[in-house]
Amino acid sequence: MNEVVVVGAGLAGLTAGYRLASAGVRVHVTEARPYVGGRTASWDERGMKVESGLHRYIGIYSALPRLMQDAGIDLSKALIWEDEVEIRVPDGPSALYGASPLRRPFRTIWNVAGPGKLCTPGERARLGAFFAAGLLHYAASGSTVLDRHTVRDFAKSKRVSDRTIERILVPLTEGLFFYPPERYSAYVLFALLAQGAKRALRSGVAAFSGGMTEVMADPIAERIRALGGTVETAAAATSLIVRGDRVVGITVRDREITAKEVVLATSLAPAQELVRKAFGIQSWNEGMLSLKTMPSATLQLELERPALPVDRGTFGPGTSLSAFTEQSRTTFTHVPGRLSIILSQAELRLLQRPEEILEEVCRDAPRLGFELKSIVRDYRVITLPHDFYSLTPGMEALRPPQETPIAGLTLAGDYTRQNYLTTMEGAVISGEHAAAVVTRRLNG
């Protein structure tokens, strides 16, 4: 019998599996899709190499780089530091920001001390007061005050101008987590900024040097196998097996896989479905079952030539191109040009045909200073309808801890409670917490 079954091979499940296997525990990881990586996966979609969406590794992360290094991944080969982000105002100015005090000191200091192109000195002063107030609230009371407000409401209450909201806060919130400031809890923004402030000197932004399954998820899965564990793909868990008052395994198709402990490390919607089916609504799972989900939608294009002169994260506030990056010099070097776009209004994209989305993006691109239509070779729209927990106000208190009161059942995943929200770092931290809970339970 396996000691532990991990359901889901996204970063949270791979982390839990790897940490447990490293501690000598016999682990079986089961993944619904034919490949590992979850939202950090890359795969072949009808003849085109795609990923779940463009990802940026942030220098303030610590659990993710530790995991990658422990699993034998050479960070200097897996990551390419870009350390800059750009905001392009449609039909307006653009501004380049340094994102690393160590590798881009002048440009990074200039962000704060320079004249700034997108707002006036008065507007910048009010923006500074807004950031300071949010960070103070976060330090004083965590989510209590901030999670009652949207970013837009909180900014308005600090007299941030509409223009500053459109030019700075829209790119920030859409770039960080795909949603505009009126849909976005002020807690979410300041929780992440507070982590950044604590590690400001280490901040920086990097692209992956290949598809993320290839450079990150597969090597971690390989390490689990090398440590005696198994990682099975195309094997979706359809139910949790409950005997008496404990979870004793899972069903995969008609096969029962038993274990002393189960780590449920799927994204939110499948976790809700499995838990509801096994237990119905109980006081311990009420919050988790009422957490809402939100979708993401991306457009990925192969091009005759690069669309942009530099590979770096760029924001197009107020257009269909929320955040985008050229990738032909970093992540997808096998084609002459490669653009990955996180689309605004993800819910709408679920209803649109791919050719409609392409048309809208090609219409918006010239407003952001580049031409796309004549150089498109191939494209795919990738949508994830329910993978994220909603970042609207009021959700934080509903996020469950990794430890459940049910014997044999532990949760992992970015929606579970940790300070890095819905990021790769958050997923890894949740997997580490889950592994610690399981270790304690196995030993105790």
Residues that bind ligand FAD in the complex, under the rule CB under 6 A: 7-13, 30-33, 38-40, 52-53, 55-56, 236-237, 265-267, 270, 296, 298, 342, 384, 387, 413-414, 422-427
In sequence order, what are the residues at sequence separation of 6 or more whose Cβ sits closer than 8 angstroms to the Cβ of residue 176?
189, 192
Least distance (Å) between residue 2 CB and ligand FAD: 15
> Residue 108 and residue 84: Cα distance in Å, rounded?
9
Rank residues 164 and 404 by Cβ distance to ligand FAD and give the closer one: 404
For ligand FAD, the closer of residues 328 and 340 by Cβ is: 340
Closest CA to 412 of 2, 1, 27, 24: 27
Give me the half-sphere count of Cα atoms (radius 13 Å) on the Cβ side of residue 111.
Answer: 19
Rounded Cα distance between 49 and 41, Å, is 11
Spatial distance between the Cα atoms of 444 and 438, rounded to a whole number of angstroms: 10
Nearer to ligand FAD among residue 29 and residue 119 (C-beta): 29
The pair of structure tokens assigned to 358 is: 């392409």
Comparison of 387 and 403: residue with beta carbon closer to ligand FAD: 387
Comparison of 13 and 318: residue with beta carbon closer to ligand FAD:
13
DSSP string, 272-308: HHHHHHHH-S-TTTHHHHH--EEEEEEEEEEESS-SS
For residues 287 and 44, the answer to whether their CB atoms sit within 8 Å is no
Half-sphere exposure for 41 (CA within 13 Å, toward CB): 22
CB of 440 to ligand FAD, least distance (A): 21
SS3 of 205, please? strand
CB of 305 to ligand FAD, least distance (A): 25
Asked if 82 and 59 touch (Cβ cutoff 8 Å), the reply is: no
> Which value, in Å, is the radius of gyration of the alpha carbons in the chain?
22
Q: CA 350 to CA 381: how far, in whole Å? A: 10
CB of 239 to ligand FAD, least distance (A): 9
Minimum gap (Å) between residue 320 Cβ and ligand FAD: 15
Minimum CB separation of residue 294 from ligand FAD in Å reads 11
Residue closer to ligand FAD (CB basis): 265 or 435: 265
Kindly tell me which of 75 and 132 has the beta carbon lying closer to ligand FAD.
75
| Distance in Å, CB of 120 to ligand FAD, minimum | 31
